[in-house]
Structure 1
Amino acid sequence: MSILLVALLSIGTCFIFSASSIMAREKYGNMMFFFDRQLMYLFLGAVVLLVISKIRYQSLRGYILLLNIVTIILNLMIVFDISAVSVNGATRWISLFGIQFQPSEITKLTLIITLGSMIDKRKRMGILNDLYQGIIPIAMYCMLMIGLVFMQKHMSAAGVLIFISATMLIVAGLKRIYVLIAGGIIGTFAVLGVLLFPFRMLRLFSFLDPYKDALGSGFHIIQSWRALAGGGLNGLGLGMSRQKFEWLPENHTDMILAVIGEEWGFIGILILFSIFVWFLIRGLAISLDAPDFYGTIIGTGIVSMLFFQIAINISVVTGMFPVTGMVLPFVSYGGTSTVMLMGAVGVLLNIASQKGEINSQKKKELEN
């Protein structure tokens, strides 16, 4: 898994420089601006990964209260516009002590660790499917965390939290009737979330036919298609993208896959896709082979988070899903996302290391 992670981060860093260099030079007078900052994020992420990988994941339960208090406070700061920062019209970041970050990224990991503990405890007690002792407390917690993000009008992050929660509960053995009821409620709120906000309706219609507003709501998708089409099979070559010259919006973040397709072609995207699939399969194998159920459930939550974000980003870039703010894990530019995702991988590595310790111990016992 470590080799696959290094491969993804290397590809990402390379294309962040390629995609952002023109904009960085014109806006900041330094072609290396975003590249240098991403290297700093990678360094911080590597430190977080190494530290978390050495902490036994079972001990994470001891930090659940603190994690949730901090996460809730940070999200409420955005909701009530306290130290909140707007980027491209979206207020999803806060700035503290000169550091700008996105609380929704922290919320994802907090949800996984907390929900995993709640599920594991109720699973061992045999009350997971009990309405009052199992379902209601879990549903209330999930609604709290999802609601905090939803109030920020951050539908994509709320969608990730919903997908993570659903996956973890299904894997844990939640009864089908509860899954169907939850799906119906979530579906209703999703529809209302689109209907009540005109800009989301606009995105939906532009997704169905982007050429109806080619210079407005459909601009992202059309420019992404042009980049992918321009790359063809083999690509134009590293650094040779034409769409990065102020044509493709968010080319170093949400739309970086389009630049990869333009410079590396379909073959390059296929290689990247293969690494992602291998990475997810490896993460799932680690989760299913965890020493205990808590390891399995939080590992599954992390893999589901990665899968959903990868799937949505690819779907947006290829025009199969409405444009939304979803970065490509380990590849797109971003501070909070890079650090938190690497922290999540640290948890997976710790699960794998503990299983390795158990296997080594068993081997020694057999030899003796």
Structure 2
Amino acid sequence: MELPTYFDDFRIKTQPTERQRKVMSEEHIKLRELLAKAPELKDVLLGTFIQGSQRRATSLIGSAAHPCDVDVVAVTNLPRSRFTAAYAHKLFQPFLERHYSGRYKAQDRSWCITVDPEVTLDLVPTSEPDSPQVREAVRSMKALRDWSPTFQTLSEAVKAEARDTADWDRTEPLWIPDRTLQIWERTHPLYLIAWTAKKNQSCSGHFTHTVKAVKWWKREIQPNPKYPKGYPLEHLVGDTCPDAIKSVAEGLTRTLESIAANYRGHAARRETPFLQARGLMEPQNVMKRVEGSDFAAFHANVESAARLARRALDAQDIHESASSWRQLLGPEFPAPPSPGTGGYTPREKPTQLSEGRYA
């Protein structure tokens, strides 16, 4: 059974809390204001914008072990022909030392800033955009610069994202520094935002919730192997979730079944599949950091999860269905009904369906 009200309750329990959203909103605004005023960056920084799972509405509730993170992209005017990736990455360290001393650390493509036990910011520098259109947009376009929607529902937000980012062309990616490889690497966060919003529309608003359900299952129920996780896992869901799904339950079941069927050969060979990065013309595998042995172990977990999800979806009894979904997704999924409750689990308070997004 699809049990939509049960999945609504599950979604609310696993999305960022109101406090976490408030911290994310205040802290990303503070960081961007500090960057804009930094004297050592005034001749270098073109502008900033938000990307990542928060922007794509695919983030989960944060914890000390798994904090919420907001990606702040800092677009510079540094030409790749004159400045190395390592230089661009280190350029922001004096700023971070002054404002976030003891709370930041270098990552391969960003600086991670801890602003709360349950919230981090990822500062992602870029080189000068190749496209004059992108350079101008970073300076002036509200869809990039501000991103402060006042929507009360996710459906309104993703429709606006699809509209506002509809004109970004595949050939206009940004370049970010890879600290480990010491190279500039292409990425297209603008395209990912638009792609996700459009995919969500084609899935009747259920795609982002399906992504979050799969990510929750991976993070909380089957954390080993560690990879794939994060965006590579989200990308995999995007490649396998069918369009026109009618519920999160259907999307979750059919996505798990598609992953199991489509990559059974890769798992048997202990081989990582090639998943082309969205918005890029040249080959780039978003799964390149996932070892073949890890993918095989992950696939085995998916096979089992797909069977359990199918059993839950096909069950004709609410108790059997809810019990199976709870077995798949953990105690955050509502418990099955108790005898004498008329087929519904008693709730301590009404379900709140509003899904605001931080500004």
Please give the TM-score of this superposition, normalised by the length of structure 2.
0.26
Relative contact order, CA 8 A, sep 6+: which one is greater? 1
Please give the TM-score of this superposition, normalised by the length of structure 1.
0.26
| The structure with more helix, counted as a fraction of residues | 1
